[in-house]
A and B are shown apart, each in its own frame.
Chain A
Amino acid sequence: MVSLRIRKKLGYSVSTVNGDALNKAKETNVALSLQGRVAGLSVGASNGGPGSSARVLLRGLTSFTAGSPLYVINGVPMDNTQRGASGEWGGADYGDGISNINPDDIESMTVLKGQSASALYGSRAVNGVILITTKSGKKNSGFGIELNSNIQFDKPVDNTDFQQVYGQGIQGNKPTTLDAAQASGNLAWGSKMDGSDVMQIDGKMHKYSPVNNYIDFYRTAPSFTNTVAFTNGGPNGAFRLSLSDLRANSIVPNSYLDRKTFNFNGSQQVTPKLTINVVANYVLENSKNRSGLSDGPGNPNNVQFLAPNQDQATLAPGVKPDGKELTFTDDSYVTNPYFAANYFQKNIQRDRFISSLSAKYDLTKWIYAQARIGYDKSNDQRVDIEPTGTAYRNDNGTMNQSNNQITEFNADALINAKHDLVKDFLNLDLSIGGNIRKSSYTGTFINGQNGFIIPYFYSLTNFTSRSSGPLTDDPFSKKQVNSAYYSADFSIKDYLVLSTTGRYDVYSTISNSVGRGIFSPSVSGSFIFSELHKMDGVDLGKVRLSFAQTSNDATAFANTVYYNLNNSVNGVPTAGFSSQLPNLFLAPFRLKELEAGLEMKFWGDRLGFDLAFFSRRTKNEIINANIDWSTGYTNRYIGTGSTQNRGIEVEIHGTPVRNSSFSWTPSLNFTYVKNKIIQTDGITNDNVSLGTYRPLNANLALVAGLPGPQILAYDYQRDAKGNIIIGDNGIPVQGALKPMGSTIPKMYGGLNNSFNYKQFNLGFLIDYRFGAKVLSATEYYSIFRGLNKSTLPGRETGVVAQGVLANGQPNTLNVPAQTYYQGLARNISASNVLNGDFIKLRQVTLGYTFNAAALRGTPFSSIGVSAVARNLWTIMKHTKNIDPESGFSNDVRYTGIEGTSLPFTRTYGLNLNFKFKN
């Protein structure tokens, strides 16, 4: 855990984002604020409401199981476990580890992109490392108080552009009975809307004309953050203590996130040689009614597919007079949105304590020893209630509760020596250290059985029986990694640096017979040519080159055959085993990376750029491949995967104007990454299936030779001349499953501008991405349900599809529109693969700072007022009915899959910052 060495000398690429960029216009998950700010970094979210997880990918899809970078707070790795995401069968996003961190406590975030940096952090650093430095007291600063208040409003945005001609109904008829109305609430296959009276779900007659107000189901949701921080610094020590309270409301009624954080950061020089540092961060989070996503059950977002004439208010309050759910479609698994929002519960409560204690002792002027212990522990309690009256349940509803504990323990010790081997010419900076990391995820669950005895009484006591037990499978995990490492920097004067690092990791998840230990070396060099040869106007000129290798371990318990007991049958025991085939020969996978860079600064830093080229490739990746049940298992672990990423990162910054009252500082970053799956299982190179969407007729997969994750969708079947082949039912025949493009962007980045005029400052960030595809369930449903504009032709006359029959004759079969488009949606999923490119105005902040002169006579030393906004304007997009960033899961296997999640939101707010005089 050598902290960043003198940055100027580094032989690899890093970027830093200051807290200012993160804590004025806030995201409840601070990782989302990094979007567009750092070359090489792409950030995605799941539309699950406040506190949802972030998908942060550095330099493309690093490996088959790529995930977020390792977050290291003040030198100690923190846990970033994903607490449950939704998939094709629904679920909710219960947040990740980084979402607990209070942005107001962050001084800066530094992104270490290359593997040379990662060699020092071990296995989880294959996805890169983000160093978080929290705010601290400064020596001799004296006592200070700072208060920051923030209020923001999330406003839901309707991105749909559905047809407004035909109303609710089926096969060309509007509903005439209550039954028919309640069976077709999300079908717009009715007749032409003519303003006549029509029976609606609430049993009343309404006008058969467009209202199109589903977005009114959502609310403009305020969120409040108040942070007060106390700092003090004397000659021998300093501290900062902050208390923060966040209340973030979701745009879904009844859903919110409450977060209280206490952060303490103190350092004390105990003796002239010994310094002790303590960091303690306590997080109390209470998240109420996480929104169901993706699939229908318990999902309030089903509201998005109402027919154009349907007033969303007719679904309120979600129950019938008898207290049971008021259903609005013929599928009881499509929950009434009001019922989902008002009665379902998906709550999670988290207590988390992230602490670290470190001591640094100066043995001599040039040698110090450092020991550090870090412990991160979360207790999560999750309660899911399916209430009494739920239409799809055959009992009085049910309740599940789980209590999970996640821990991450790190102990490390190192000795550092800095010494001139040849005086004033050759210097050695050497660190040698060791690290022990233990992590675990354990838990227990209690599930109610046979439904509540007493309706509406939601307690685990209210069941005739309960099933309970410990977690037995993933995410249940226990791991330990012991490591030893060194880093040695040889520098010749100040212009030539050669660094080498080495790390030996021993993994508990790898079996002894295979060999648990693996060595990961790196070597990097930087040459600051501007030091050697001064050039006019050139402040810095540096070339760098590095090569590194890292490794990553396997899932816990994956190399042993285990058997588990199942529920008994009338007292007779039963047992089984996982359908996941264990692999007794799992070995750690390796990642090799070569990076070259050029960094230059000109004219007193008026202009500068940093250019990096990287090429990285994995070997022996452990993948969990799908196999057919007829093999006896559904999945298997296999260590044969290989992924390649090559790319360029450019960061350009400048200060075109800078004078006493005005300055303009633009910066631009650009990333191009070319990903390629080199090998999957190594034998047949079959696709590795990843996630899918609820319509199930397309999925993501890793396809050898193509960038991952690749969308596989069914296209039309065509004859030799390219004509579409039509089946004998008049509907185009399903063709082959085809790769349709990757869901991870090829090009992305941002343009940030910051203007300062006297006490005013204005900043805005534009970000963009190109070359990413989206697999859209919204598109599927809007075709299947007659909402999409493409379903307009043939409503009155029926559809005669253009194409040929199997016998080669032109098709003449006329099919009713509903039958045709529903068949088409089922057969042809290629039409749900959309272009996900966009350019967005991501963030704008406009601030005014009152200076000391203006505050004379007040207790304040400074007051800052900022108007802030996020996601203000989508400058360019190609998707017609969705926001291209929509998604329901942050899991990389579901990247770019969207459908039935919360709508995109715009955020406006005000940030006030008070610093008290000391």
Chain B
Amino acid sequence: MKKRYIFSCLVAGATFMSSCTKNFDEVNTNPNKTTAELINPNYFMSQAQLTFSQTGYDQLLFQSMWVQSLASTFSYYSNGDKYVLGGSGTGYYNRTWNRGYSALTLVDEMKNLIKGKPEYTNLDACGSILRVLFMQRITDLYGDAPFSEEGMAKAGNFTPKFDKQQDIYAAMLSQLDAAINALDASKPAPTTDLFYKGNIPQWKRMGYSLMLRLAMRMTKVAPDMAKTYAEKAYAGGTMSSVADDVKVMTDPNNNTSSNSDALLVPDDFREVRWAKTLIDYLQANNDPRVSAIAEITNGNGKRANEDRTTPGINTASLQLGMPNGYDLLGGATDISKAPGYPGATPAVDDKDAPAPDGRYSRPRLRVYADKGSANFIYTYGESELLLAEAASRGWNTGVAATHFANALAADMKSLAGYNATPTAVVSDADIATYVAAHPLLPGTALQQINTEYWVATSTTFDFNEAFANWRRSGFPVLTPVSYSGQYITGQLPRRMPYPITLPQTNGANYNAAVASQGADNFATRVWWDK
């Protein structure tokens, strides 16, 4: 009797247990996420485009001031302004790397999900073009980097080898070529494309412009290959108007512009200014862009200088660039010691304080601190400048002077696209006057073209590109800043060091890359910069 009790309990228990484990798959299913069957792979493309474009502090902290487009007295910006580590210093090295690869992995996953599905041919090809776009920024900044083994964690490779930049460029060119050829306007287009709303001919032109940019990067080290691909791109048809500009309009509510997020931080707003080098150049050329991009604080004193709601005064003659390499610390490098210091704006009452940076020009509030502004990635004007340079070198890419004139006009027109409501507008008349006054002269072609490239990429806040093209072309000629405690002295940085975690996460390959490319510092030149 008692034994039967026990036995029946045991049987009941065992049955109970096994029946209860049947729903274990359901228990271990995350109800707030979805899987491959339901997800729309297009959505990875929009996320990748957004992620890649939201550079914010990645380049503001370094490249924007290395190329002397912006300047700041604020300690956080000493990284770029003074070549002195500030804030988390070395912790910022990884920013462009991580952003690039996190955008790449989205595209890789998208391509995996649509593999072998013909209805996604165009999405797949756009994905391939995006991969090249993303990879170029990474390798241009760091040099050798994983590409052939990139994004393979899912396949079990956790320590990808670094490809030499030379090999990356070769691979990017061939992959890009294949992707452009695969685009087919008769097939379904990507549905959530933030660049072109799925317009395939525009993608094709963008693809060729990207090929052109890859080609022109190699003018110093592989001019023959550069020529081949530049001519191929031109023949294929590059971007043809500012409507082809590659940019992402951010969302003022859910995905605000990371540039505006940074500029609206009180310290940044108060102390980030256009650099003297840039503003001086624009004013010397009577460039109408000055009043499109720059303004000085409306009103005196620190309170006005920190007021992030009132637009400044953009009258061209009042604009003044801040020299790089100064601070507010009261010592020898205090901004008040800078040559031509205009003086602080005085306090307006006893609750206020003077604003030492108050008379220097800041990026216009309604343009650059607009939460829904554009993140520019590559413009028609830049593409035209590259064609102009190729033609100047005697390559078969059309007429240099025409491309240059196109570029000047386009660079000014593109600025109107910075905001949903055009704000940085240069009038057609001003454009025409400027273009007429600045013809391309054979003797100074490279300097004119590449300096304009620097102006264009600075005014569209694409400092990654400004830095890359400056390294390649040497224009404009920049004087390094001197300051105590610099991480590089007597010269401008030529490269970003690798993320500081790499020796731990991928040590052997990191060491191999350093052995092959040179010391992991700011001075080592990447392959195309030799």
Contact = CB atoms under 8 A, between A and B. Distances in A.
Q: Do A and B truly interact?
A: yes
Interface of A: 170-171, 173, 175-180, 183-184, 320-322, 330-332, 363-364, 367, 369, 391-395, 413, 415, 417, 432-434, 436, 449-450, 464-465, 467, 469-472, 476, 478-480, 482, 484, 506-509, 511-512, 516, 556-557, 559-570, 572-577, 579, 581, 625-633, 636, 681, 684, 686-687, 689, 696-697, 701, 728-729, 731, 737, 815-816, 819, 822-823, 826
A630 B504 contact: no
A822 B94 CA distance: 22
A570 B153 contact: no
Contacts of A183: 328-329
14 contacts: A170-B329, A330-B75, A364-B2, A367-B2, A482-B20, A509-B28, A562-B33, A564-B34, A569-B249, A572-B194, A579-B102, A632-B101, A731-B485, A823-B485
Contacts of A816: 484
A179 B354 contact: yes
A606 B9 CA distance: 48
A570 B251 contact: yes
Contact of B46 (A391, A557, A569): A569
Contact of B24 (A179, A508, A631): A508
Contacts of B249: 569-570
A826 B85 contact: yes
Interface of B: 2, 5-6, 9-10, 13-14, 16-17, 20-21, 24-25, 27-30, 32-36, 39-40, 43-44, 46-47, 50, 74-76, 85, 87-91, 94, 97-98, 101-102, 104-106, 108-109, 145-146, 150-154, 157-160, 192, 194, 248-255, 261, 264-267, 269, 302-303, 308, 328-331, 351, 353-354, 356, 371-372, 484-487, 489, 499, 501-508
Nearest to B352: A322
Given A392-B267, A686-B504, A701-B504, 14 more contacts: A177-B353, A332-B265, A432-B6, A434-B17, A450-B371, A465-B253, A478-B27, A516-B21, A561-B35, A628-B506, A630-B145, A632-B154, A636-B153, A689-B501
Contacts of A561: 35-36
A628 B40 contact: no
Nearest to A556: B28
A471 to B, nearest CB: 7
Question: Most chain-A Cβ atoms within 10 A of its Cβ — which of B88, B269, B485, B502?
Answer: B485
Contacts of B248: 569
Nearest to B53: A569
A559 to B, nearest CB: 7
Contact of A506 (B17, B29, B34): B17
Given A557-B29, A574-B46, A630 B267 contact: no
Contact of A330 (B105, B158, B194, B267): B267
A460 B499 CA distance: 39
A625 B104 CA distance: 21
B24 A686 contact: no
A576 B250 CA distance: 17
A728 B506 CA distance: 29
Given A413-B13, A576-B47, A728-B489, A321 B5 contact: no
Nearest to B485: A819
Contacts of A449: 253-254
Contact of A482 (B21, B105, B192, B329): B21
Given A575-B40, A686-B504, A432 B24 contact: no
B253 A631 contact: no
B101 A696 contact: no
Contact of A331 (B46, B75, B91, B486): B75
B348 to A, nearest CB: 12
Contact of A560 (B13, B29, B91, B303): B29
Given A506-B17, A631-B151, A626 B254 contact: no
A479 B499 CA distance: 37
Contacts of B94: 629
Closest CB pairs A-B (n = 3): A394-B264, A575-B43, A567-B254
Contacts of A562: 30, 33-35
Given A478-B27, A508-B28, A630-B506, A573 B46 contact: yes
A569 B50 contact: yes
Contact of B33 (A564, A701, A819): A564
A731 B489 CA distance: 13
Contact of A574 (B152, B192, B252, B303): B192
A557 B28 contact: yes
Contacts of B146: 628, 630-631
A369 B9 contact: yes
Contacts of B152: 631-632
B308 to A, nearest CB: 6
A573 B32 contact: no
B106 to A, nearest CB: 6
Contacts of B28: 478-479, 508-509, 511, 556-557, 559-560
Contacts of B101: 628-630, 632
Contacts of B485: 729, 731, 815, 819, 822-823
Contact of B192 (A330, A564, A573): A573
B6 A415 contact: yes
B485 to A, nearest CB: 4
Contacts of B250: 569
B223 to A, nearest CB: 30
A573 B157 contact: no
B253 to A, nearest CB: 5
A64 B145 CA distance: 31
Nearest to A172: B331
Contacts of B32: 469-472, 476, 564
A160 to B, nearest CB: 24
Given A563-B33, A573-B43, A512 B20 contact: no
A559 B27 CA distance: 13
A569 B194 contact: yes
Contacts of B145: 630
Nearest to A688: B504
B6 A506 contact: no
Question: Most chain-A Cβ atoms within 10 A of its Cβ — which of B87, B104, B154?
Answer: B154
B505 A434 contact: no
Question: Most chain-B Cβ atoms within 10 A of its Cβ — which of A332, A394, A480?
Answer: A394
B329 A626 contact: no
Contact of B13 (A434, A464, A508, A579): A434
Contacts of A508: 21, 24, 27-28
A626 B501 contact: yes
A632 B34 contact: no
Contacts of B13: 413, 433-434, 484
Contacts of B353: 177-179
A697 B90 contact: yes
Contact of B330 (A173, A464, A479): A173
B397 to A, nearest CB: 34
Question: Most chain-B Cβ atoms within 10 A of its Cβ — which of A184, A364, A471, A557?
Answer: A557
A860 to B, nearest CB: 50
Contacts of A737: 503-504
